[in-house]
Structure 1
Amino acid sequence: MGIIKVMIVDDDALIRDSLQLILDMEDDFQVIGTAINGQEALTLCEERLPDIVLMDVRMPVMDGVMGTRYLREQFPEVKVVILTTFKEENYIKEALKHGASGYILKSQPAESIVETLRSVAKGSMVLEAEVASSLTAFIDDRQKADPEAFQVTAREMTVLELIGAGFSNKEIAMQLHLSEGTVRNHISALLEKLALRDRTQLAIFYLKHF
């Protein structure tokens, strides 16, 4: 994996500067720009196309949830990690629904934030432990689904389960002794059969129904 290009979006200048300082100390990260709200982030994405956008939730003009929605619609290859001090369940659900690949708290240690971004860059979906626990009601309210009803094969079900557990394509390939190309084919088949947009929605589908 080469240099990971990151954009930092937060209306607090201290947070932006602190995060940039943390990432600038890492050899595999490059901060390609900062923005103070979701609207600025969209404009900057057009110019510089980051790999990951580290997005605050509560900002003026356009908040992080709407910023995530529009950014993922316009730049589906860009991953979004929500960064916030808030553990409110609605924010988590909405951010995930709109395609966020991770959700972490500003109270996390610097090294934990860095590792989260590395994991997301590799294709994993990452939730900070405290945040994941607040999804309990969302997950426990799930309705069981029958894979056969969706014509999902046993192998595809295994891939779906590993996506739900946060594994990247490379990790799934190693676990199942498959090529990454084969894993991508299984994911494409799952997306088509389940009428979903991306692997984040696959993970949420798995958590809600299995």
Structure 2
Amino acid sequence: MRIAIVDDEKLICEGLKIIFQSYPDIEVIATGSNGNDALKICEEKNPELLLMDIRMPECNGVEATKKIKKSFSDIKILILTTFNDTEYIQKALQYGASGYLLKDSSPDVIYDGIKAAISGNIVINPEVAKTMLFENHEEAEERLIRPLSEIQDEFGLSQKEIEIIRLVSEGLSNKQIAYKQGLSEGTIKNNISVIFDKTFVSDRTQLAAFAFKNGIV
């Protein structure tokens, strides 16, 4: 896995580089300190994934995500963030980021997130997502409690499709969902395509955001 790390805090950037160079299946091909560096790295190095801070000078992670995904749609972007960056996170996801990781996550959690994103899955912290989509915890909890029949009627989703949406929102791959559902991976892929059509989304990140917003998870 060829990754690049972009963070304006040099100690964090170099620390992450040292950590992930110790993983045999990760190659850190470049580092940078702002969004302009990130764009240049994509142009010159073509990494599989960018691990990028969201608050940076000159060009922040949100603007960088917008520019990069417009020109390099295949490059995955994982945002490094804190609980206080919810507005930035939401915009980055809208522009095509594959998800976000908290800066205080363990190296193994970040490593798992990198693998998941490169495999085409989403990386979302549920508690941050609640904060991002609702003004307070009480409202989030109220919205999360919705009868299954209400969700089915509103969106025309079957019980099986709702369960698949919940598993996608947890970041599970098609293979993992297939195992849990006792179905083939191809069947799950077809089901997710139908779900995309019903929910008017085009990828797994948008589906997860849809699920949080509409009280499915």
From 148, 170, 177, the counterpart of 1:172: 177
Q: Is the 8 A contact 1:6 1:29 kept in 2?
A: yes
Paired position in structure 1 for 2:110: 113
Alignment of 1:1-210 (within 5 A): 4-85=1-82, 87-128=84-125, 131-132=128-129, 134-135=131-132, 137=134, 140=140, 146-209=151-214, 210=216
Q: Is the 8 A contact 2:130 2:212 kept in 1?
A: no
Larger displacement relative to structure 2 (150-159 or 45-54): 150-159
Aligned-partner Cα distance in 1 for 2:168–2:157: 14
Residue identity in the other structure for 1:107? D
How far is the alpha carbon of 1:142 from its aligned partner?
A: 5.1
Residue identity in the other structure for 1:33? A
Gaps of 5+ in 1: none
Aligned-partner Cα distance in 1 for 2:125–2:151: 29
Residue identity in the other structure for 1:53? L
Q: Is the 8 A contact 2:49 2:77 kept in 1?
A: yes
Q: Considering only aligned residues, what root-mean-square deviation do their CA atoms show, in Å? A: 2.8
Aligned-partner Cα distance in 2 for 1:49–1:15: 22
Return closer, same or farther for 1:176/1:207 CA change in 2, 3 Å cut-off: same
How far is the alpha carbon of 1:133 from its aligned partner?
A: 5.9
Q: Is the 8 A contact 2:98 2:117 kept in 1?
A: yes
> What are the superposed Cα offsets for residues 180-200 of structure 1, whole Å, 9 maximum, x if unpaired?
232222222222332213110
Q: Is the 8 A contact 1:87 1:131 kept in 2?
A: no
Aligned-partner Cα distance in 2 for 1:121–1:164: 16
Return closer, same or farther for 1:159/1:39 CA change in 2, 3 Å cut-off: same
How far is the alpha carbon of 1:28 from its aligned partner?
A: 1.3
Aligned-partner Cα distance in 1 for 2:158–2:130: 30
Gaps of 5+ in 2: none
Provide the aligned length of Structure 1 versus Structure 2: 207
Aligned-partner Cα distance in 2 for 1:130–1:157: 20
Alignment TM-score, normalising by the size of structure 2: 0.80
Q: Is the 8 A contact 2:133 2:213 kept in 1?
A: no
Return closer, same or farther for 1:142/1:72 CA change in 2, 3 Å cut-off: farther
Return closer, same or farther for 1:191/1:49 CA change in 2, 3 Å cut-off: farther
Provide the identity percentage: 39
Q: Is the 8 A contact 2:52 2:79 kept in 1?
A: yes
Q: Is the 8 A contact 1:89 1:135 kept in 2?
A: yes
How far is the alpha carbon of 1:201 from its aligned partner?
A: 0.5
